[in-house]
Structure 1
């Protein structure tokens, strides 16, 4: 696979644009709309089972239960299936650092270190360099699937997808004309969002946007601390809610594995060494007082995830960290790309490259379990001003507006890590790419429904066991 950003960014802009247009000979823009799984397509249930084999066995049924809630929930857990589908098709060779799982719920409001709200990508478990269009296709398909879940018409679904892809294409072409440092410093803060959307939003939509921003500001460490912990005779401790939140002391030794207390102190010590010196100094002000296993998300269910409760001056001075297991990216088998000695480091490196305002406590580590196997983790704050969208409450116009925000934000991420001149030249000034991605999104939404039905059949037959909580 050709790596454009490795060398084209050092060429004059005119030559980079030529390179981008030449990529149309490898994959014409109209061909981006094709989805042909073919007879050799991997069985989606086998793909899911291979992932489950590396996860905590007693949590795997929860993953299947969550994926069975709807085709959209299934899609959130099926990044490996889509990676296999994209990996067998021709690609442009125009690479960027990919999110790897760029569905619409992985975009949200986040807190910058300066305590400003920004709109950005949130989840980087699958990040890896790859063809830029893979992220755009995953995002586009997620909008079509969300529109179907809401009962929108085909025209309304297509409108949301086109708004997203148009925003991606136009912003990438804007970045193609900007200075390198201007691209690097670009942010999607709330002021920019307001200017982008105010002319397109009615009064009710503006009110809902303001409410979402206000809610994000309440989702602080202290709010999470009050919700997730309780006062005990030993001091503040994590509140049990098994099997979703299970304190370390309530896990069997064979379930805890690497979760022994001494191993977690080792985890913190090793993790601290990946932080800048001033952040290490800050972390030394806290002491570890409690640990619990947490079930997270849809696609991540079954991977090892731990809440670490640290306290500073007293019981009202908390720091909640999340240590989440990082396994190999679902893209790795299809990119021939970079390999890391630590998958947590892969996640952190990718996040720092494409996210404008990363968590100040973001780092990585490796833990050796009782089974003698080393497992990689990345660590970040559990919650810090995160605003999460609810697509099921959106009308067609609001889904299209949110899609345009996501598309513009993804373009900024790709422009930081790839070649915006080459990608912008490939995309061009017409809507040919937009129309193609709209067709792809519908074709892949059809495939996603078939895969969802296959999971339902596997559970009915007893091949897989699902648990709904």
Structure 2
């Protein structure tokens, strides 16, 4: 998009944040806590100025998100081998534990039998189960782990461990896929301190539950020993739980502006639930100074990204 459209989109996000925070400052605490924007409301915002074909695409996006669950993950990420459910080996993105053992041993070692894989997976998840509330613990204890694999995830997790665990329930086709992601100390910790006793995984889980109106019911944390014996902290969640996102390569300016506004509202709600909504609203004020400042910052940040990328390309020559 040209610079005028980009500025309008950023301004919409900042304005939505500022106005939502002012509204939250006028609301009671419980009202703020329960406020939410559901998927249908988001669709209405994005479809307001959309064409018929664009509205159809938005509907398909919502349908796809609603169906993106463990059943779909099983269909995409596993296969049946000798009557047993196995995670597919698709290096470097997905590498089952059995393949990692072979790589590190340098030998074509036999694949651990199903009971051995269950034992390893059970050990990995035992601490996670203990940290769940009683009702969630009863839920997860009805499943048993049958396979585990390392899975490459997003850019923000480069260098951190990430695993997926396939679990089976008592009924046929009753499956669950969990993701175990390593957590590190926040980059803000040196400046604001850490909560005493909290592991990085606990911090992530507590933060998500505080900010989100509806977190994953199986969200939890655990610790596992690393190669050197030092504990590594992780948080655990369902791999897919109604997950969806807009296609930013295809989205038009009207839909992106609506999405930006929804993101601004959502961020304001998270901050209103966890911070001092009165102080934030007072700092932002009634005028659009904050909105214009964010527009300038976004432009300079985008320019900096382009300069950094160019420097990276030159360093490869």
TM-score by length of 1: 0.62
Higher mean displacement: 219-228 or 191-200: 191-200
Structure 1 CA distance for aligned equivalents of residues 160 and 37 of structure 2: 31
Structure 2 CA distance for aligned equivalents of residues 454 and 356 of structure 1: 41
Report the CA distance between 1:435 and its aligned residue: 0.7
Contact 1:235 1:315 in 2 (8 A): no
Q: Secondary structure at the match of 2:178?
A: strand
Name 1:372's counterpart in structure 2: 229
Q: Secondary structure at the match of 1:187?
A: coil
For residues 161-207 of structure 1, the C-alpha deviation after alignment (integer angstroms, 9 at most, x for no partner) is 01111111111111111110000011111343355455444444433
What root-mean-square deviation, in Å, do the aligned CA atoms of Structure 1 and Structure 2 show?
2.1
Name 2:214's counterpart in structure 1: 357
Name 2:30's counterpart in structure 1: 181
Name 1:244's counterpart in structure 2: 93
Contact 1:340 1:346 in 2 (8 A): no
Structure 1 CA distance for aligned equivalents of residues 102 and 233 of structure 2: 20
Q: 2:4 aligns with which of 155, 159, 170?
A: 155
Cα distance change, pair 198–244 in 1 and its aligned pair in 2 (3 A): closer
Name 2:185's counterpart in structure 1: 328
Report the CA distance between 1:267 and its aligned residue: 2.4
Gaps of 5+ in 1: 1-151, 462-469
Structure 2 CA distance for aligned equivalents of residues 292 and 191 of structure 1: 35
Name 1:12's counterpart in structure 2: none
Cα distance change, pair 414–429 in 1 and its aligned pair in 2 (3 A): same
Contact 1:172 1:420 in 2 (8 A): yes
Gaps of 5+ in 2: 106-115
Cα distance change, pair 203–317 in 1 and its aligned pair in 2 (3 A): same
Report the CA distance between 1:314 and its aligned residue: 4.6
Structure 1 CA distance for aligned equivalents of residues 298 and 313 of structure 2: 22
Would you say 1:452 and 2:301 are equivalent positions? no
Instruction: State the aligned residue count.
Output: 306
Report the CA distance between 1:236 and its aligned residue: 1.0
Structure 1 CA distance for aligned equivalents of residues 197 and 290 of structure 2: 33
Q: 1:389 aligns with which of 246, 249, 252?
A: 246
Structure 2 CA distance for aligned equivalents of residues 439 and 340 of structure 1: 40
Contact 2:211 2:273 in 1 (8 A): yes
Name 1:166's counterpart in structure 2: 15
Report the CA distance between 1:272 and its aligned residue: 0.4
Q: 1:295 aligns with which of 152, 160, 164?
A: 152
Cα distance change, pair 255–439 in 1 and its aligned pair in 2 (3 A): farther
Name 1:139's counterpart in structure 2: none
For residues 76-102 of structure 1, the C-alpha deviation after alignment (integer angstroms, 9 at most, x for no partner) is xxxxxxxxxxxxxxxxxxxxxxxxxxx
Structure 2 CA distance for aligned equivalents of residues 200 and 331 of structure 1: 40
